[in-house]
Amino acid sequence: MRHVIALDVGGTGMKAALAGPGGEVLHRARRATGRAQGPDAVVAGILDFAAELRAYGAEHFGTPASAAGVAVPGIVDEAHGVAVYAANLGWRDVPLRALLAERLGVPVALGHDVRTGGLAEGRVGAGRGADRFLFVALGTGIAGAIGVDGRVEAGAHGFAGEIGHIVVRPGGAPCPCGQHGCLERFASAAAVSEAWAAACGDPGADAADCAKAVDSGAPKARAVWQQAVDALADGLVTALTLLDPRILIIGGGLAEAGETLFTPLREAIRQRVTFQKQPSLVPAALGDSAGCLGAGLLAWDLLASTDRMEVTP
């Protein structure tokens, strides 16, 4: 059976699948990234894992994978297949696409983890059927994916969708990117955790605890939460003014708060829009499988483009 390898590389673990032509998952596997052993060991682990997946497919489905799609964090040059930089993995300028293609003997597509997850959400998840969508992941940081007619825009230099570095509070908290007042310093799960830990006096408190306290009516929690919601709404309205998406998909750890987040966020956006058309605001549907599913879509897209080139006279 024809299939592809889909691999989602995270800071601590890797999720993988063998995906069939209709996107169906034929096999799933997980493995630790092994970052404690250093960047070279991480790359070696990715190559070994992919080779094992290839062997599994050959044994169980009668043929090895036809292509592979890989999603990685950090800065990614998708056009040249290079993992440029990832702080949590310690690598720089890794020609991952070429290394995998040599190891596997098949075409390989390399993508940014959030854009790849956004691709899956747009095509087969919460944004299915939408011609224009914006996917925003609220995790340790904040990043986005701009969807246009079934594909995700990487930008001229691979930085499209970095909504977390829109300045929403000029002169505010410093950001590792070098600016002050970036969105992710106020509305990411990490930022909410930090603010709530300070407000409640418990260094171990996190964003999930803050959401529970909001639900219970705690005034301090509501104040922290509303500050994050207001900052997020400011950043999102800037994005939707530029992009005019039909649907706005919110994922990541902070979105797990459900309507505790979505109800006030919808209202905050409503209050800010004037001439803009407010998009549908929905939670992501695929959870932590989005990156892996998106990697499979990248691989099938690559095969489709290769097949078209082969039949072009």
Band of pLDDT at residue 11, cut at 50, 70 and 90 = confident
CA distances to 1, 60, 68, 135, 255 from 17, in Å? 14, 13, 10, 23, 25
Q: Give tens-digit pLDDT for 157-197.
A: 888 999 999 999 999 999 988 999 999 999 999 999 999 99
Q: Above 50 in pLDDT, residue 312?
A: no
Q: Does residue 276 fall inside a structural domain?
A: yes
Q: Above 50 in pLDDT, residue 311?
A: no
Residues 246 and 135 in one domain: yes
pLDDT at residue 308, rounded to an integer:
55
Q: Does residue 119 fall inside a structural domain?
A: no
Regarding beta strands 91-94 and 82-86, do their DSSP bridges make them parallel or antiparallel, or are they unpaired? antiparallel
Residues 70 and 173 in one domain: no
Q: Does residue 121 fall inside a structural domain?
A: no
Regarding beta strands 82-86 and 75-77, do their DSSP bridges make them parallel or antiparallel, or are they unpaired? antiparallel
Residues 186 and 280 in one domain: yes
Residues 143 and 268 in one domain: yes
Q: Which of 113, 147, 178 is the last residue of a domain?
A: 113
- Closest Cα partner for 180 from 199, 194, 159, 166? 166
CA 179/CA 252 separation, integer angstroms: 23
In degrees and rounded to multiples of 5, residue 266 shows phi and psi of -60, -40
Residues 240 and 263 in one domain: yes
CA 145/CA 124 separation, integer angstroms: 15
CA distances to 104, 132, 133, 244 from 149, in Å? 31, 6, 9, 13
pLDDT at residue 99, rounded to an integer:
97
Q: Identify the domain containing residue 15 by its residue range.
A: 4-113
Handedness of CA 250, 286, 94, 45 (dihedral sign): positive
Go through the chain and tell me how many residues it has.
Answer: 313
* Distance linking the first and last C-alpha atoms of the chain: 28
pTM listed for this prediction: 0.91
Count the domains in the chain. 2
Which letter, b or e, does each residue of 151-170 get, where b requires 16 or more Cβ atoms within 10 Å of its Cβ? ebebeeebebbbbbbbbbbe
Band of pLDDT at residue 35, cut at 50, 70 and 90 = confident
The CATH number given to whatever domain includes residue 85 is: 3.30.420.40
- Closest Cα partner for 213 from 225, 201, 204, 203? 225
Band of pLDDT at residue 24, cut at 50, 70 and 90 = confident
Residues 138 and 230 in one domain: yes
